[in-house]
Structure 1
Amino acid sequence: MEITIHHAFLPHTDAEAALTFYRDILGFEVRKDVGYEDMRWITVGPVGQPGTSIVLHPPAADPGVTEDERRTILELIAKGTYTAITLATDDLDGLFERLTAAGVDVVQEPIDQGYGVRDCAFRDPAGNLVRVNQLA
């Protein structure tokens, strides 16, 4: 039996800014872009890895979410404490240079962690924490 991760979900607060970040800066391909009323769900993923995707979704889109809950979720997203994702690359320093040249919000420059991982961290346009590990 094989189990894989097929989709991970991250909220976006601006679909166009999310597309610019994930497609244009990170280089992911857009797999789906679905709209309903004033909301958009955008599925992106690494080129050559069709089985792994990130679904960028409107936050608190569930009709059962109250306005107070929606406001709290948006505040947590903006602080970078609502959700996070960890990516990996074979060129951490090169990716970090590309991200900083694009003006992303850097949280942590590349560093060798005491637990054996070299990584960096930044926020996407919504405020989600994105960590990137150096592949061995």
Structure 2
Amino acid sequence: MNLYTRDIEAAVRFYRDLLGLTETFRTPAEGTPSHVEVRAGSFTIGLGTVDAASRVHGVDAEPGRPAMALVFWAGDVDAEFARLTAAGVTAVKPPHDTGNNNRNALLRDPDGNLVEIVSKVTA
């Protein structure tokens, strides 16, 4: 999966530094990258600049449209939501019970893409 971004450094800080994904690839290696890959387990997210999408693929990327949401499971949605919003992440919907014994919260990454965090409700 590739996400296109207007500010790749902000996207890397969000996915790598705040969400804790592991950076596995960056090009170019020096200076501001046009593509960075981060990994959560066996799932890789490619972060690519809007400019690179246009230049390399001929794609007019529009980051932040609500066409999808990235979903991450957490041990405690309330604690993660508090940590992320304290770090300046934009909240869309605070933690709430959604059925199936799940608790969810919605946030936005630096480009406005929806990011959902989910955990099981504990007794």
2:111 aligns to what SS in structure 1? coil
2:5 partner amino acid:
H
Report the counterpart of residue 36 of structure 2 in structure 1. Answer: 42
Counterpart of 1:57, as a letter, is: G
After superposition, the Cα gap between the structure-2 partners of 1:25 and 1:39, relative to the gap in structure 1 and judged at 3 Å, is closer
TM-aligned CA deviation for residue 115 of structure 1: 5.1
* Aligned residue number for residue 25 of structure 1: 18
**Which residues of structure 1 form unaligned runs of 5+?**
1-7
Query: TM-score scaled by structure 1?
Result: 0.73
Distance 1:110 1:82 in 2: 21
The Cα RMSD (Å) is 2.3
Contact 1:10 1:83 in 2 (8 A): no
Range moving further from structure 2, 114-123 or 93-102: 114-123
Partner of 1:57: 48
Q: Flag the 1:88–1:31 CA change in 2: closer, same or farther, 3 A.
A: same
**Aligned-partner Cα distance in 2 for 1:93–1:127:** 21
DSSP 3-state at the match of 2:28: strand
How far is 1:26 from its partner? Answer: 1.3
- CA deviation map 1:19-53 (0-9, x unaligned): 111122112221111239x861111123xx2x222
* Alignment deviations for residues 58-115 of structure 1 (CA, whole Å, 9 cap, x no partner): 24435434xxxx2xx42xx24x424321111112111111101101110010000145
The 2-side partners of 1:54 and 1:135 are apart by 24
**Correspondence for 2:116:** 131
Give the SS at the match of 2:27: strand
Ranges of 4+ aligned residues in structure 1 off by more than 2 Å: 58-65, 114-117
Answer yes or no: is 1:12 the counterpart of 2:5: yes
Q: Secondary structure at the match of 2:34?
A: strand
Query: 1: CA distance between counterparts of 2:21 and 2:99?
Result: 30
1:84 paired residue number: 69
Q: Is the 8 A contact 2:89 2:109 kept in 1?
A: yes
Greater strand content: 2
